Structure 1
Amino acid sequence: MTRFHPYHGQNIRLLHDNMVAYRETSFAHALTFSEKPLRPGEIFLVEIEKNERGWSGHMRIGLTQFNPADHFELPQYALPDLHNMGKSWIFAVTKSHNKVMLNEEGDTENGDEPYQSVIGDTDIVQTPQGSFNRSLLLPLGKLLPSNKSGSNSYHMPKKNVLPTDVGSRIGIMYKVNGDTAEMRFIINGEDQGPCARYIPYQGGNLHAVVDVYGTTKQVRIIQLYGVSTLQNACRDKILQLTSEEDLNKLPLPKKLKQFLRYEFVQEGEDISPVRKEKIVEERTCMKCEKTAVLVTRVNDAFCRECFMVYVTHKFRAAIGKSKLIRDGESVLVGVSGCQASSCLLHLIQEGLSGRAHKKLRFKPGLIFIDEGATVGMSAEERLASCTQVLEVMEKTGFPCYLKALEQAMELDREGDTTCTQSSDCESDQQGRAPNTPSNPAHNLTKFHQYDKAEEQLKTLLNSLKSVTAKEDLIKSLRQKILLDLAHKEGYSKVMLGDCSTRLAVRLLTDISEGRGAHVAMDTAFADTRCSDITIVRPIRDFSSKEVAMYNILNNVPSVFIPTITTKAPDSVSIEHLTEKFVTGLQAEYPSTTSNIMRTGEKLHTEKKNTSEKQCAICQGPLDTDVPLSSALSAVQFSQTVSRCSSVTLSLYSTESEGCGGGDKSCQSKEEKESECCGRGDGSCQSKGSKLTQDEVMATLCYACRLLIKDLDDVNKLPRHILNDISQRQRRVRMKTEIEEFLLNSAETT
């Protein structure tokens, strides 16, 4: 019996007595070999039993002189990896053009020269290893008797069976020519001619190699030699004479039909034996060669001590190289309770402790922002989660602050910064370590007192149709709270626990959402969009795996807090879907996130000098100042046409007098002037007039325009955003009124 060798790629599972190879996941690490070396003239035949959509490329097959019994290190792919290792002759099976040949120099060329078929043209194929019926080489399930007299000959009623289709049968063999050999492909009963010559077969045994790659999901070995079991012989004969549709009509038990139908396993159906646990070989530390306790990447094994040195050095080097954080500087550290922020907090604690070889010199303060209102958590649930996070923060002895996300709706209110310590807030402002409260929950009961703001936040989020828009708005409000507290408490830096995996997801998400101009700021070590406060990400070079392993080895506690995408389908938002894609790819290719991050580091965004050139929501650079011939202007014109009927159309509808386009939010110039509290001299300080959607859109970047385009009333936005937009509008009007009195650069010279 011909079988697959038990040594194979990590994504392969062998079934049915090692005669079926099934790729469980991904499209790589799927190499399989024949159990025994092939003899001259012996045909190794496999059938494609299952395909999987969503991949490119198809099965690779060929010969190799590498012995799988030696357990050599398997590459990811047969092409080009195994081929480049030498002593291997491998080709990709394609839908057409499979007649290719390697010349003596190893180059690929067309194989259209005349050749003699090794399988002949009779019903019985004669080979040096034995004879078999020609029908075994043909696609199973596509054969019908050539006549009704019971003849043993068969013909193909359909000529469109592609080599990559399910049911296609592909064979490999080699023929000796003097001191060398040539390899032959046999696809669906047709000899494709020599595909490789000058193979030094005397230099080592030749094993068949099959890479279950790309769309090919499962292959089965077809037994051509020896005596088949009665069970398999009966199944093959029944399937030769019966179509899949007629198979269900046979008067056979259900289990027997399932046995007969294994060639027609549908995508998504489970296939048999229980998965065997993988045997992991013991690794040694790449630094000290002690027994390794973890592997960060494929070849990076560490013992516990070396891993701690590695992580600590990476953290301190990120801070030291930037030279942004000065001695004695106050730094606000964002704590969310997740693995990454907990890892960052522990690294800061260790760096400031007496055990540190070289102590960190900045003064940290901690802040936790409760976002329970966004997921409808009750007051008791929010209280419980805040208590858990607060207990973790207070154990550090650093100043602690607690904020609720709904406070971003009323940032203008005085004294909205709430301290969560049992001692007064004055101790924080003086930089002294607070006393641990005897009953932190008692203090937290005074915290959730923003019922009006919470209702406004829920109303705003419910007005947004997509979860993607809600995630972006929550992110902007969270950042606004961080910067606002940093301003009030005198912190010049804000430190966040964003790891490389999270930033890689954010990079791709930003590009997908139209925030390409913001990628450099959102993923860089230092985000300088705010003039006097810098956001830094000291663990941006840590992978999520390194973060998790650090927390496990140091028993670092973390707190799980649900978000709006918790337990949601992968496609609920762009960021959630991107996260699924990146983490899935990272599991198969450990360099995925590092490659994405290196690409992101090449991007650069010019910093805007004035706040008028920044988005009113995300504070990113405005990317909407484009010429009239741009795609954005065309979209704006199309939207204006669809809303307006009898008014004069203008690409600059944000500056037109009838900017509402017929909706109820339109305010004429006279109406606006009637609401002005000044005297027409630009001294207007009124905040009571409502903003139109066009006025708000004019101050937003492209992505934030998409965020609020479906908002029924833009005046539901947080107060600080509306005030910023109103101030910009007043400045524009004042500048227009006094423009004729201003000196231009030419006149000043």
Structure 2
Amino acid sequence: MACSSGTCQSGCYRDENSVDEDGRKEGQVAANGDGSNHVSPRRGGVNAPGVCLKCKINETIAVTHPAVSGAGGEGGRFCADCFRSNLFGKFRFAVTSNAMISPSDNVLVAFSGGSASRVALQFVHEMQQKAQKNFDASRERQRVLPVFGVGVAYIDEITMYAEVSSEFDKATSEMELIVSNLSPPAKQFFIIPTESVFSPDLAVGRDSLTRLGDAVSDLTGKEDLIKHLRMLCLQKAALDNGYTKIVLGTCTSRIACHVLEATVKGQGFSLAADIQYIDARWKVPVVLPLRDCLSEELNMLCSLDSLKTVEASQQARAGINGLISSFVKLLQEENPSRESTIVRTAGKLTPFSFNRTPEVGDHNDRLASKRRQKKYNLKPDESQSPESFCLVCNSPLKKTDVSSLNGFTLKETSADMYAAACSSCQYQILPKDTSSMEQFLSLLPQSISDSHMFLREQIQDLLLSDSDDGT
């Protein structure tokens, strides 16, 4: 979380002539209660040991809370109040500069029970609470922007794991209690079983989900498939309940792991799509307001503010993903800036056309979006556009990948499927035996099957028939 006066976006650094809470300029002599004088330290001088680098008044976290003073040394630099304001400043800047949440939005926060999603929920709640106070204090409410709504969703993935956790009911009850204990406005809490994307009948959906999981033998492929099903669940819940944005607690640490994972799996072309603040390739756009925050910072905030987290039925990462996660953790221990460096380097990739806020909403929303772009000097969209998306994971595909379908007929379903999937899904999820492709297709959720049929209709004009082969 280190920053400098030239680059800090959260407003934590003050001018040399700024005043402190007592109305004094920095460096001005003031009288203590006992009649003695002291000089408040000036920025740029030697900071007293154990004194916050920002406010230069309070003791650092390392002194007041030594048990939670990790986070790559931040506990020895900032007090609890300044640490929290800096972290919220990152979140607020990401939201405002990228027009993530508009007054007319109804956002769904994905909540897993961990520290990242817990902080995301807390910060979104505080933004909503402030907007509600401003609305209530206004005398002319018809001229005031509305207050955005908030819902919370937990994806129940217990069916995909061999061992059923006996603590699941307790964990979900604790999550529901966390949401209900938030001050008004009230927020609806959803528990969404993964099998619900297969069928409204959960028994039927559970059977389909189990058979699909058994059909994928690769550990990395199975974990990636669960991740995609999780997004389908969030999309379904958002569409069914009228939510317009999905908020994920994805942070710098998780993105750093994903950068290396995607590189190893051969997903370099689609990597830029997954690491931006906004992902509007889905029907309900997905936003990442904690993109600039480290997981250690989020853990520390939960400890400092007593934000309760819940240990739900989450399994340790496996396969390539598990190896990369351990590798990045080791890098971070050796150098606390490694995760940020990985993300900054990947951030130089050109984003796609869907990595921006869609031009939708009422007139006030569009005006607010334009004001934000002007305020933060955002350049017009000059990003690339994909030709199509992978039928399994929805990753953007190169034009050359789609054009390879020109040599197939509609009867060759297995060939169509392989060509319409990214290389990672081809090697890790799809069956190697082409004779089992039809059976595998029947196990996929209806939303994926519909996309497959839609693609086949799209490419029908491109495919050569026996009468048009030029012979």
Fold shared by both chains (TM-score > 0.5): yes
CA distance in structure 1 between the partners assigned to 2:218 and 2:304 by the alignment = 39
**Cross-structure match for 1:585:** 331
1:504 Cα offset (Å): 0.7
Q: Which protein has the bigger helix share?
A: 2
- Helix, strand or coil for the counterpart of 1:367? strand
- Of the three residues 392, 406, 413, the one matched with 1:617 is 392
CA distance in structure 1 between the partners assigned to 2:173 and 2:402 by the alignment = 53
Distance 1:465-1:652 versus aligned 2 partners, 3 A rule:
farther
1:695 Cα offset (Å): 2.5
Deviations 1:503-545 (A, max 9, x none): 1101111111111122112111111222x42211111111111
Contact 1:518 1:605 (8 Å CA) reproduced:
no
- Helix, strand or coil for the counterpart of 2:228? helix
- Helix, strand or coil for the counterpart of 1:733? coil
| Partner AA of 1:482 in structure 2 | L
Q: Which protein has the bigger strand share?
A: 1
Distance 1:612-1:402 versus aligned 2 partners, 3 A rule:
farther
How does 1:60-139 map onto structure 2 within 5 Å?
none
CA distance in structure 1 between the partners assigned to 2:401 and 2:198 by the alignment = 32
**Cross-structure match for 1:286:** 53
Distance 1:720-1:626 versus aligned 2 partners, 3 A rule:
closer
- Helix, strand or coil for the counterpart of 1:369? strand
CA distance in structure 2 between the partners assigned to 1:601 and 1:611 by the alignment = 18
- TM-score using structure 1 length: 0.45
1:484 Cα offset (Å): 2.1
- Helix, strand or coil for the counterpart of 2:191? strand
- TM-score using structure 2 length: 0.69
Matched, 1:321 2:47: no
- Of the three residues 683, 689, 705, the one matched with 2:426 is 705
CA distance in structure 1 between the partners assigned to 2:154 and 2:248 by the alignment = 11
- Helix, strand or coil for the counterpart of 2:109? strand
**Cross-structure match for 1:251:** none
- Of the three residues 447, 452, 457, the one matched with 2:204 is 452
1:580 Cα offset (Å): 0.6
Deviations 1:203-242 (A, max 9, x none): xxxxxxxxxxxxxxxxxxxxxxxxxxxxxxxxxxxxxxxx
**Cross-structure match for 1:477:** 229
| Partner AA of 1:403 in structure 2 | I
1:574 Cα offset (Å): 1.0
CA distance in structure 1 between the partners assigned to 2:402 and 2:166 by the alignment = 53
1:282 Cα offset (Å): 5.7
1:656 Cα offset (Å): 7.4
Contact 1:586 1:592 (8 Å CA) reproduced:
yes
| Partner AA of 1:591 in structure 2 | S
**Cross-structure match for 1:363:** 149
**Cross-structure match for 2:42:** none
- What is the count of residue pairs matched by the alignment? 363
Deviations 1:249-268 (A, max 9, x none): xxxxxxxxxxxxxxxxxxxx
- Of the three residues 326, 343, 347, the one matched with 1:597 is 343
**Cross-structure match for 2:170:** 384
- Helix, strand or coil for the counterpart of 1:403? strand
Matched, 1:555 2:302: no
Q: Which has the higher contact order (CA 8 A, sep 6+)?
A: 2
CA distance in structure 2 between the partners assigned to 1:735 and 1:601 by the alignment = 35
What fraction of aligned residue pairs are identical, expressed as a percent? Answer: 26
| Partner AA of 1:723 in structure 2 | D
Distance 1:352-1:373 versus aligned 2 partners, 3 A rule:
same
- Of the three residues 688, 707, 714, the one matched with 2:440 is 714
| Partner AA of 1:292 in structure 2 | T
CA distance in structure 2 between the partners assigned to 1:379 and 1:545 by the alignment = 27
CA distance in structure 1 between the partners assigned to 2:73 and 2:167 by the alignment = 41
Matched, 1:501 2:256: no
Instruction: Give the superposed CA RMSD.
Output: 3.2
- Helix, strand or coil for the counterpart of 1:655? coil
**Cross-structure match for 1:301:** 77
Contact 2:272 2:352 (8 Å CA) reproduced:
no
CA distance in structure 1 between the partners assigned to 2:279 and 2:261 by the alignment = 18
Distance 1:301-1:455 versus aligned 2 partners, 3 A rule:
same
Contact 2:402 2:420 (8 Å CA) reproduced:
no
| Partner AA of 1:727 in structure 2 | F
Distance 1:502-1:381 versus aligned 2 partners, 3 A rule:
same
Contact 2:409 2:463 (8 Å CA) reproduced:
no
Distance 1:477-1:610 versus aligned 2 partners, 3 A rule:
farther
CA distance in structure 1 between the partners assigned to 2:330 and 2:385 by the alignment = 41
| Partner AA of 1:614 in structure 2 | F
1:581 Cα offset (Å): 0.7
CA distance in structure 2 between the partners assigned to 1:537 and 1:623 by the alignment = 25
Note the residue ranges of structure 1 that are not aligned, 5 or more in a row: 1-280, 411-415, 417-448, 567-571, 634-650, 660-691, 741-749
Matched, 1:693 2:403: no
CA distance in structure 1 between the partners assigned to 2:162 and 2:402 by the alignment = 44
How does 1:220-231 map onto structure 2 within 5 Å?
none
1:717 Cα offset (Å): 2.0
| Partner AA of 1:326 in structure 2 | S
Contact 2:406 2:464 (8 Å CA) reproduced:
no
| Partner AA of 1:291 in structure 2 | E
How does 1:106-255 map onto structure 2 within 5 Å?
none
- Helix, strand or coil for the counterpart of 1:400? strand
CA distance in structure 2 between the partners assigned to 1:607 and 1:314 by the alignment = 24
CA distance in structure 2 between the partners assigned to 1:621 and 1:355 by the alignment = 36
How does 1:265-280 map onto structure 2 within 5 Å?
none
1:340 Cα offset (Å): 0.5
Contact 2:389 2:395 (8 Å CA) reproduced:
yes
Q: Which has the larger radius of gyration?
A: 1
| Partner AA of 1:598 in structure 2 | R
CA distance in structure 2 between the partners assigned to 1:574 and 1:737 by the alignment = 39
- Helix, strand or coil for the counterpart of 1:331? strand
Contact 1:334 1:497 (8 Å CA) reproduced:
yes
Contact 2:279 2:285 (8 Å CA) reproduced:
yes
| Partner AA of 2:440 in structure 1 | V
Contact 2:60 2:80 (8 Å CA) reproduced:
yes
| Partner AA of 2:456 in structure 1 | Q
CA distance in structure 2 between the partners assigned to 1:328 and 1:355 by the alignment = 12
How does 1:306-705 map onto structure 2 within 5 Å?
306-353=82-129, 361-378=147-164, 381-396=167-182, 397-410=186-199, 416=200, 450-530=202-282, 532-565=283-316, 572-607=318-353, 613-623=388-398, 625-626=400-401, 654-655=408-409, 659=412, 692-705=413-426
1:737 Cα offset (Å): 9.8
1:626 Cα offset (Å): 4.8
CA distance in structure 2 between the partners assigned to 1:598 and 1:347 by the alignment = 24
Instruction: Detail structure 1 runs of 4+ shifted over 6 Å in the superposition.
Output: 355-360, 608-612, 734-738
- Helix, strand or coil for the counterpart of 1:328? coil
Deviations 1:459-503 (A, max 9, x none): 111221111001111111111111222223222211100111011
